[in-house]
Amino acid sequence: MWPPGSRAAMALTVDFDAEEIWLAEDPANAARPGVLSQARYGVERALPEILDILSRLDVPATFFVCGGDAERHPRAVESIVARGHELGHHGFTHRSPHLMSRDEEADELGRGLDVLRRFAPRIRGYRSPSWDTSPNTLDLLVEQGLDYASNLMDATAPYRHPAHHIAELPVHWILDDAPHFWFDTSSWDRTIRSAREVAELWQEECDAVHDQGGLAVLTVHPQIIGRPGRLRMLERFLAALRADDGIWFARGAEIADRAHAATPAPAETS
Amino acid sequence: MWPPGSRAAMALTVDFDAEEIWLAEDPANAARPGVLSQARYGVERALPEILDILSRLDVPATFFVCGGDAERHPRAVESIVARGHELGHHGFTHRSPHLMSRDEEADELGRGLDVLRRFAPRIRGYRSPSWDTSPNTLDLLVEQGLDYASNLMDATAPYRHPAHHIAELPVHWILDDAPHFWFDTSSWDRTIRSAREVAELWQEECDAVHDQGGLAVLTVHPQIIGRPGRLRMLERFLAALRADDGIWFARGAEIADRAHAATPAPAETS
Amino acid sequence: MWPPGSRAAMALTVDFDAEEIWLAEDPANAARPGVLSQARYGVERALPEILDILSRLDVPATFFVCGGDAERHPRAVESIVARGHELGHHGFTHRSPHLMSRDEEADELGRGLDVLRRFAPRIRGYRSPSWDTSPNTLDLLVEQGLDYASNLMDATAPYRHPAHHIAELPVHWILDDAPHFWFDTSSWDRTIRSAREVAELWQEECDAVHDQGGLAVLTVHPQIIGRPGRLRMLERFLAALRADDGIWFARGAEIADRAHAATPAPAETS
Amino acid sequence: MWPPGSRAAMALTVDFDAEEIWLAEDPANAARPGVLSQARYGVERALPEILDILSRLDVPATFFVCGGDAERHPRAVESIVARGHELGHHGFTHRSPHLMSRDEEADELGRGLDVLRRFAPRIRGYRSPSWDTSPNTLDLLVEQGLDYASNLMDATAPYRHPAHHIAELPVHWILDDAPHFWFDTSSWDRTIRSAREVAELWQEECDAVHDQGGLAVLTVHPQIIGRPGRLRMLERFLAALRADDGIWFARGAEIADRAHAATPAPAETS
């Protein structure tokens, strides 16, 4: 499935999530500067650092961005595209599709695309907020002209959905930064893991996925991974993988191309 | 209590749990493809890997399966039986018996047995969802013709219940994978342990139980333990135990036989 | 404050807690054999092991017992007293005094004493369930003829309460086993620490308290610490402290005597 | 931004929090001596130890104190000032500003200042309880004559707010002791980290912030960090940083001076 010389693949995905994640959690957060300061950190401090790390390591990435966040932070989104990274769809707000009617979900997708297309001519991939989807999601993605998604936890290699022209790049909680690092006053019972502990978690999973010849999809959020001590770990972690010639680092769209090419065309969907 | 040459025993139990665990947690999960994708991972990706690991190590196991999951995934259940593992009862749905009336619990047990007997002629063991039981459970197991259970946390060796012809294979949270690895959006405050950390937890407990001459019952779930990094740990963990000739690996039914043989017949129950 | 040759002190306290802790948490637990099996483990399996460890190491301990648990398990309580350990008061039920009226709390104390005095002629110490007390507790302890308590987190050495003839043996969450090991279905978000991790937590705190010349009060519960891997850690942990001649191991009452002797008599209380 | 010879800065901030934090969490805690004993520990046992550590290491610190706690513990506050540390504003009660009307928040700030000025002639800095602020906070701080705050998570170096004469000394959960160590009966699901684990978390973050040339703001609470094993870690942790001549240890006000000097005067605020 992978390019010649590569035995496994690695996708670095960045869920850009600025203010939208806090507003979806609780609209009252709009009046909490302390809470929103974390979003600003992600955009203003962490994003440039992350882009620099990716440049230093020559790692291509896919940034999934909510439409609302893109409207609020156009220069940040421009800086992502300018560095050659892929822009993906992350909803308009950061609300979960499984809580929406079909019309609401279609509207969210359409509004998000309208905004994102101002920054990149073609948007192909969709990652829902929280990796949740609805029974309508695949149909709606086809209708909107997208051709891959990255939401499900059913495999460790990409595949094409049987009844839709949508490739899936599967994810998992282990390879996300949020379950290990998240903390806020409404998540008071959480444990903040050290960067070393998270490197161990990621290493165990990536090593095993790569030994299978699979795809490891790492998901990070600027306001979470962007703390200085964590960024240092991220750079070391990626550098070690980058030094392995057998691992193909690719944007989501490039991986989706491979999945589409490897699978017979699906039956038409209603 | 153990066969000649064995000083302690090890039972690997696999709670098959596919969709039923998510539907019992919240019926609305039926419309959440992201949530259900974890169940599919367990059935389609993890189960074949687990079966291969068990074959490589020559470890016999007992798979506790909900009737609903068996109806949905007959080929998976057939593959378990075909490899020589034991099939056990895990309820029809994944709802806890202590929340049911006597009639409901009897009905769950009967419906589950009807399905499971299509795959294996004799079902002897019962593990309740969540290791919870009701005051009626032992009576109902006798009525249904089962002769062992694996739900209680009152010992580190098997025994026969004083008033029922039911052997008990005791369990504990430490030797389960779920308390250490579980994570989903409705369990957002949980900490995902690394495979190394869980190996430490399991090792401490298994070593001490085996030094007592007891029975360690390890419980894993395909959708949890089945992540590549965790499977690698599981294989290493089991291989080390397998290399110890003094530890008897056995299916639940074989251990139950020992417990029944070691105990005088119980008084009749009403 | 300590006997000649001792620079610091160590009190091993065992909160016996059998069924009462589960019934106080939820009366519906009376009909959950799976839940109650943990209590039975503590009484039948763990307690004898703990008593043997204490004998091997010649460690005197204080066992705080609920009246309700003592009525249910008289032989277990007799075995504690027979080994020379001190019996202390832990309420009649395992409900917290701060949720009771003065009369209810007085009644709990009186009922508990009536039961405990069947096993030991003189009961001197009181530990409340959950280390919570009410504004009436000290007055009531004086009325009931007790002369020490072990509930507060305000010091690392024993002292006498300024207005009551009650010595306090201060405690802390770090030196308890429950915050590190507890797990049940209604505490699903908890992290089970390994025995090694808990040894680290205890060691850090005990070492520092002892270097101050203070008193470290370790609190364990048979159904929690009693798992084989944890008991092995407990024995190693206590053995290392026991090997230090400068540390005085004592029952609560002996430590209370020191605190009373070191402090001028308090003013009379109303 | 830093004094000649210094490449980075370190601010040790101590949130004094005695009874106010418990009363804000639940007014019923006023009748729970067990809960309040933790506050007393912080004031009577931990504070003197912390002051001694700071003297031994020659570390200047900033103590943020609630007005209510200062009224209750005047001698403790005097001891802080007598050692040359800075006194900062931490509200009158420990309630979060985002839950208050503008008038309530103004009143809290005024009442707190009235009390704190009895101990130190000039109070310049404000840290809100829980690092939450309201949309009115900066305006109110200017009105009350304060000139710095330490609440937001948007940077790793101090800066001046664009429209207010208020410097910000940014914070983060990682460099707080509470998320790692907190435990009480109403936070039963939390994990208590070992001192070693927290040293790792702090070290990772401080090292990286200092390598950036930034400011690391460490936040500790006497009743939390004050346990003997944790104090030992704190002393070791600070001593290692203190041995690095390139790191400037300073009080909040000194750091605020640098931020004000480095930034052009802001536009006037309404």
pLDDT at B161 > cutoff 70? yes
pLDDT at B230 > cutoff 90? yes
Instruction: Encode pLDDT of A219-231 as tens digits.
Output: 999 999 999 999 9
pLDDT at C235 > cutoff 80? yes
The shortest C-alpha distance from B156 to chain A (Å) reads 31
Percentage with pLDDT > 90 across chain D: 96
Measured from the Cβ of residue C74, the count of other Cβ atoms closer than 10 Å reads: 12
Interface of A with B (CB under 8 A): 98, 128, 130-135, 137, 151-156, 170, 172-174, 179-180, 182, 187, 189-191, 193, 197, 200-201, 204-209, 211-212, 214
pLDDT mean over B187-209: 97
Nearest-by-CA chain B residue for A101: B31
* Chain A residues inside the 8 Å CB shell of B191: 190-191, 193
CB A224 within 8 A of CB A50: no
Work out the pLDDT band at C86, boundaries 50, 70, 90: very high
Residues 6+ apart with CB under 8 A from C227: B172, B174, B205, B208, C46, C181
Residue A228: which of D153, D189, D205 has the nearest Cβ? D205
Nearest-by-CA chain A residue for B193: A201
Q: Which of A45-49, C259-263, D191-195 has the weakest average pLDDT?
A: C259-263
Instruction: Encode pLDDT of B21-76 as tens digits.
Output: 999 999 999 999 999 999 999 999 999 999 999 999 999 999 999 999 999 999 99
Residue C131: which of D34, D229, D232 has the nearest Cβ? D34
pLDDT at D270 > cutoff 50? no
Q: What are phi and psi of C245, to 5 degrees?
A: -65, -20
pLDDT at A14 > cutoff 90? yes
pLDDT mean over A178-182: 98
Of C220, C21, C252, the C-alpha closest to C126 is: C252
pLDDT at C264 > cutoff 80? no
Which of A22, A32, A235 has the most D C-beta neighbours within 10 Å, making it the best mutation to test the interface with D?
A: A32
Looking at residue D263, its pLDDT comes to 80
CA distance C155 to D37: 9
Q: Please, where are the H alpha helices in B83-219?
A: 102-116, 137-143, 178-181, 195-211
3-state SS record for C24-55: HHCHHHHHCHHHHHHHHHHHHHHHHHHHHHHH
CB A192 within 8 A of CB D180: yes
CB C39 within 8 A of CB C18: yes
CA distance A9 to A250: 7
* Chain A residues inside the 8 Å CB shell of D201: 192, 194
pLDDT at D269 > cutoff 60? no
CA distance D213 to D207: 10
Looking at residue B269, its pLDDT comes to 43
Work out the pLDDT band at A239, boundaries 50, 70, 90: very high
Residue A189: which of D135, D187, D208 has the nearest Cβ? D187
Which of C191, C225, C235, C237 has the most B C-beta neighbours within 10 Å, making it the best mutation to test the interface with B?
A: C191
CA distance B39 to A154: 8
Interface of D with A (CB under 8 A): 98, 128, 130-135, 137, 151-156, 170, 172-174, 179-180, 182, 187, 189-191, 193, 197, 200-201, 204-209, 211-212, 214
pLDDT mean over A43-60: 98
D8-262 folds as TIM Barrel (3.20.20)
pLDDT mean over D230-257: 98
Pairing mode, strands D159-160 and D167-168: antiparallel
Looking at residue B267, its pLDDT comes to 54
CB B170 within 8 A of CB B216: no
The shortest C-alpha distance from B97 to chain C (Å) reads 9
Provide the residue ranges of all domains of chain D, joining segments of one domain with +.
8-262
- List subunits contacting chain A, requiring 3 or more Cβ pairs under 8 Å: B, D
Q: Tell me the pLDDT of chain D averaged across its residues.
A: 96
Q: Which amino acid is at B266?
A: P
* ipTM greater than 0.90: yes
Question: Both tokens of residue B195?
Answer: 């495979």
Across the interface, whether the CB atoms of A137 and B33 are under 8 A apart is answered yes
Instruction: Give ∠ CA D66-D69-D70 in degrees, rounded to 5.
Output: 85
pLDDT at C268 > cutoff 50? no
Work out the pLDDT band at D172, boundaries 50, 70, 90: very high
Residue A130: which of B33, B41, B185 has the nearest Cβ? B185
